[in-house]
């Protein structure tokens, strides 16, 4: 008889479990990600069942229900006190949901969650903040920066998740923050905190708590590149909502992006500014992103991108310079590198620009990451403007998708983009000709529809 296995191999990217080591994970195709870890206790993975197969481990009997029996009342949303966060969540928090907040260390995850806890507590909702990383003193210092705290907000410095679960069952808070999942451990598995199976087991336990008690649970997860510590990738499949906090640590603003949301759309972003006294919402990100725009410089073009339902104006910069080596260098910061290469090939082939002896650097100002195809025309315009050293009029906004034969294709929500540009004082808009019919009111803006890249370049 085969000996019962004590360990197994887990993929640190996706959590795939295998009895033997493999160089490549068959599930997510990542290389060298399998790590050996002890298995969970047998009682959890393979429960012995008697004749009463429909009885759960905890003695309850399973009973399927019809649609009429399901009430929708539990999906009442709870405000977080930040409109930017509520929108990313899909108009507020859902009771009993599991929200993962990921991001680099020092980006502000603990800060924003502490601010949310403070808002919830101020409205009388009991909240528990569990920190496995910082001492109570450190938390108090941070709380001192974000302002006075009132209401039922309590703290716990602990990493033993089984004990924390007991506290949650007893206190029944409306929301719990677990900061961070990589520091938590449960008895069910013997591997170290932060390992794939430990992170998986802990999240499973938190999920049971959230669904069983209707507690909203925020889980903080650090993003790490090494395979040793389980990144939030493993968790993403288990939780309801995944939010990523991004931005340059050295700049002051932060972007909260949802990459998965069972209760809302996934393309919304929230913009915040890190100040001395915590995070502040930025409700006018376009103004923020266009701040400090150079006047009359070549290679800078204002574009309009949609982030979910909100139009964002931003500056696309390009620098095209003669290459000193045989191989020209191309870089893209904040946008897709391959897309930039493709657009340069279109310029060479369709517009006869000799770009093969030139280095090209493309950057989205402000550290934003934007990959919407509607930015294509602005990238092309910025490249040509820098190549010919001719500035583009600074009151002009450009958007449109560029196809392989140099045609400019229609984009979605042209109307919203034009009104945002008008609101910020732009006077001219270069957009796909196919979109012209759908723009209802230009309000004094000059609208120039173009159907290919050549036409657009002639206009600029
Ligand atoms: P933190 O929330 O601890 O980051 P994380 O939990 O994601 O690791 O944020 C730490 C950074 O934020 C730190 O560099 C200090 C800065 N900060 C401010 O600028 N203002 C503030 O009010 C607070 C609380 C932090
Ligand atoms: Mg932290």
- In the chain, what are the domain boundaries? 7-38, 75-283, 288-459
**199 CA distance to ligand 2 centroid (A)?**
17
Residue 269 to residue 251: CA distance in whole angstroms? 18
Ligand 2 (single-atom ion) residues, CB below 5 Å: 110
User: Which pLDDT value is given to residue 286?
Assistant: 86
Residue-wise pLDDT for 282-326, tens only, equals: 888 888 778 878 888 899 999 999 987 888 899 999 999 998 877
Q: Are 38 and 6 in contact (CB under 8 A)?
A: yes
Determine the atom of ligand 1 nearest the C-alpha atom of 107: 7
Determine the atom of ligand 1 nearest the C-alpha atom of 112: 2
Residue 376 to residue 82: CA distance in whole angstroms? 33
Is ligand 1 within 6 A of the CB of residue 173? no
Burial 9-25 (b: 16+ CB within 10 A, else e): bbbbbbbbeeeeeeeeb
Give 451's contacts (C-beta < 8 A, 6+ positions apart).
Answer: 407, 408, 432, 433, 434
**130 CA distance to ligand 2 centroid (A)?**
11
Tokens of 366: 């402000």
In the 8-state DSSP scheme, what is residue 393?
A: P
**283 CA distance to ligand 2 centroid (A)?**
25
Q: Are 18 and 9 in contact (CB under 8 A)?
A: yes
Q: Are 346 and 380 in contact (CB under 8 A)?
A: yes
User: Which pLDDT value is given to residue 404?
Assistant: 94
pTM of the model: 0.77
**179 CA distance to ligand 2 centroid (A)?**
7
Residue 403 has pLDDT above 90, yes or no: yes
User: Which pLDDT value is given to residue 48?
Assistant: 52
Determine the atom of ligand 1 nearest the C-alpha atom of 252: 19
- The class that CATH gives domain 288-459 is alpha beta
Residue-wise pLDDT for 168-213, tens only, equals: 999 999 999 999 898 999 998 888 888 888 888 999 999 999 999 9
Alpha helix positions (H), 241-297 = 285-290
Determine the atom of ligand 1 nearest the C-alpha atom of 274: 19
Which CATH architecture does the domain made up of 75-283 adopt?
A: 3-Layer(aba) Sandwich (3.40)
Coil, helix or strand at residue 185: strand
Residue 294 to residue 78: CA distance in whole angstroms? 42
**14 CA distance to ligand 1 centroid (A)?**
29
Give 135's contacts (C-beta < 8 A, 6+ positions apart).
Answer: 157
Ligand number with the minimum distance to the CA of 115: 1
């Amino acid at each position: 008889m085969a000996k019962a296995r004590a360990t197994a191999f887990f993929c640190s990217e996706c959590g795939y479990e295998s009895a033997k080591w493999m160089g490549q994970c068959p599930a997510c195709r990542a290389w060298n990600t399998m790590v050996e870890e002890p298995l969970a206790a047998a009682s959890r993975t393979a429960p012995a069942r008697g004749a009463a197969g429909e009885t759960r481990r905890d003695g309850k009997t399973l009973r399927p229900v019809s649609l009429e029996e399901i009430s929708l009342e539990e999906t009442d949303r709870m405000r977080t006190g930040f409109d930017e966060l509520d929108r990313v969540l899909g108009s507020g928090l859902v009771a009993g949901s599991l929200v993962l907040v990921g991001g680099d260390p020092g980006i502000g995850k603990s800060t924003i969650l502490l601010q949310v806890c403070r808002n919830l507590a101020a409205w009388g909702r009991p909240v528990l903040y569990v920190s496995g990383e910082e001492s109570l003193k450190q938390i108090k210092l941070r709380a001192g920066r974000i302002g006075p705290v009132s209401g039922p907000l309590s703290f716990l410095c602990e990493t033993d998740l089984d004990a924390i679960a007991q506290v949650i069952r007893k206190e029944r808070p409306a929301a719990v923050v677990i900061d961070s999942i990589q520091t938590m451990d449960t008895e069910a598995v013997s591997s170290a905190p932060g390992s794939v199976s430990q992170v998986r087991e802990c999240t499973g336990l938190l999920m049971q708590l959230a669904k069983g008690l209707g507690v909203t649970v925020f889980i903080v997860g650090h993003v790490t590149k090494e395979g040793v510590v389980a990144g939030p990738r493993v968790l993403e499949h288990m939780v309801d909502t995944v939010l990523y906090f991004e931005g340059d640590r050295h700049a002051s603003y932060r972007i909260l992006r949802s990459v998965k949301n069972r209760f809302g759309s996934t393309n919304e972003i929230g913009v915040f500014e890190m100040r001395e006294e915590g995070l502040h919402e930025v409700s006018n990100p376009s103004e923020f992103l266009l701040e400090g725009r150079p006047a009359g410089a070549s290679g800078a073009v204002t574009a309009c991108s949609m982030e979910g339902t909100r139009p964002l104006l931003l500056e696309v910069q390009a620098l095209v310079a003669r290459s000193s080596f045989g191989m020209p260098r191309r870089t893209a910061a904040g946008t897709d590198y391959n897309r930039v290469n493709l657009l340069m090939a279109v310029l060479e082939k369709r517009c006869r620009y000799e770009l093969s002896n030139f280095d090209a650097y493309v950057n989205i100002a402000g550290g934003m990451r934007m990959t919407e195809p509607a930015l294509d025309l602005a990238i092309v315009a910025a490249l040509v403007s820098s190549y010919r050293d001719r500035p583009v009029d600074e009151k002009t906004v450009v958007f449109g998708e560029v196809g392989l034969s140099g045609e400019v294709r229609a984009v979605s929500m042209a109307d919203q983009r034009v009104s945002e540009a008008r609101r910020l004082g732009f006077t001219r808009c270069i957009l796909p000709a196919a979109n012209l019919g759908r723009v209802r009111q230009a309000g004094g803006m000059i609208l120039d529809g173009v159907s290919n890249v050549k036409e657009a370049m002639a206009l600029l």
